[in-house]
Amino acid sequence: MAEQARVNLLGLDRPSMEAFFTALGEKAFRASQVMKWIYHHGVVDFDAMTDLGKALRAKLYAQAELRLPEIVLDQPAEDGTRKWVLRLDSGNHIECVFIPEKDRTTLCVSSQVGCALACSFCSTARQGFNRNLTAAEIVGQVVLASIAVGIPENKGERAISNVVMMGMGEPLLNFDNVITAMAIMTDDVGLGISKRRVTLSTAGVVPAIEQLREVTDVSLAVSLHAPNDELRDQLVPINRKYPIRELVAACGRYIAGKPHRRITWEYALLDGINDGPEHARSLARLLRNIPSKINLIPFNPFPGAPYRRSRDEAIEQFRDILIQAGFTTIIRKTRGDDIDAACGQLVGKVEDRTRRSARWQAVPMEKAL
Ligand code: SAH
């Protein structure tokens, strides 16, 4: 007889965890108890959950598991950034990056194996798309990283203070699992990270932004990269479906009525493509009515990339124009680029199901753009 699949409890938010325990004939409060063991103490072995009682632990062993992705590579960079390559059950690989800073620690988490959106400047796009991550696989990245950088010794303090859904994949195309995972990250008995410190980054799936507003209010970042449709259609092809005007309007609605909230706009600077003063000025016009923070990301090259990083003077001039127009603007420091952990350099090892990578190889780059 086939063994019944055990539930990976890392994918259950508090209500589902309560339902799970109730179905086992246990009290609902067991849910919080187990979640605290996992997320506050980094314990992923039922036997170490000493206040559970032997009978309950036996039931849990029979029906549930706490399974983390397997670490195949744990790579530290010179600047303290640390990248993990993780192997999933399906044999696919994803990447996850830990970024320590003075006043916080940020984990950059993947939401899909590969990505289907084909942004022309992103190396993940070259891999094609394989599948959505489960909620357990998304949460598993945070648990694994917390354990690796040391929750247990860190009494009381969070090993990871911020999570950005900015790894591989488009989080809004894996909506339900991402929402569940973020609920676990922000729950007090879960990872307990404040909603402002969990950031979802999207290439601009407009209907999903509308939906997101209904169910959560985590911070929202949008990968803009161009101030007009003509250029954005080339760089971020999903723009052909959801043009800039609709995107900006949806973002305005997302933070409407929430004081002190801003949209973070990400803008990769590509030499001679989108980095001129005229682009900066039109960006400032485009965003003038939206409370905004602008992150300029100097392009991170990867083998075969059709772009170059903008010159330093161009980057600074671009920033100065935005600052003069009143926008908080920062040039994002490139972190971990010696280990290919910087934005757009995460590739994992993906078995493409869309044949996108074959298309990339067959079509000369100028034509593909
Ligand atoms: N799909 C989501 C999540 C990925 S976030 C999104 O698009 O927002 C990763 C960020 O890095 C995005 O802003 C992406 O546009 C940016 N990026 C991708 N490739 C890059 C590269 N080669 N150099 C700099 N930034 C890049």
pLDDT higher at 127 or 215:
215
What is the best residue among 96, 166, 225 to mutate for testing ligand 1's pocket, by most ligand atoms within 8 Å of CB?
Answer: 166
Which atom of ligand 1 is nearest to 305's Cα? 22
Summarised one tens digit per residue, pLDDT across range 184-212 is 999 999 999 999 999 999 999 999 999 99
Nearest CA to ligand 1 atom 21: 344
**What is the model's pLDDT at position 336?**
75
Q: pLDDT digits over 56-71, tens only?
A: 999 999 999 999 999 9
Band (86; pLDDT cuts 50, 70, 90): very high
| Bridge partners, 270 (sequence order) | 309
> Among residues 336, 11, 335, which one has the least CA distance to residue 141?
11
Band the pLDDT of 368: cuts 50, 70, 90: very low
How do beta strands 112-114 and 105-108 pair? unpaired
pLDDT score of 157: 65
Given a cut of 60, is residue 39 above it in pLDDT? yes
Average pLDDT in the 21-30 region?
97
Segment 33-38 mean pLDDT: 97
> Quick one: pLDDT band at residue 269, thresholds 50, 70, 90?
very high
DSSP state of 47: G
- Mean of pLDDT over the chain: 91
Domains, the chain, in order of start with CATH, read 7-65 (1.10.150.530), 70-368 (3.20.20.70)
- Binned at pLDDT 50, 70 and 90, residue 150 comes out as confident
Which residue's CA is the closest to the ligand 1 atom numbered 18? 344
343 flagged as catalytic: yes
The verdict on whether 3 is a catalytic residue reads no
State residue 93's pLDDT score.
93
Q: Whose Cα sits closest to atom 20 in ligand 1?
A: 344
- Of all protein residues, the one whose alpha carbon is nearest to atom 15 of ligand 1 is 223
Tell me which of 110, 120, 121, 122 to substitute to probe ligand 1's pocket, judged by most ligand atoms within 8 Å of the beta carbon: 122
Quick one: average pLDDT of 14-24? 98
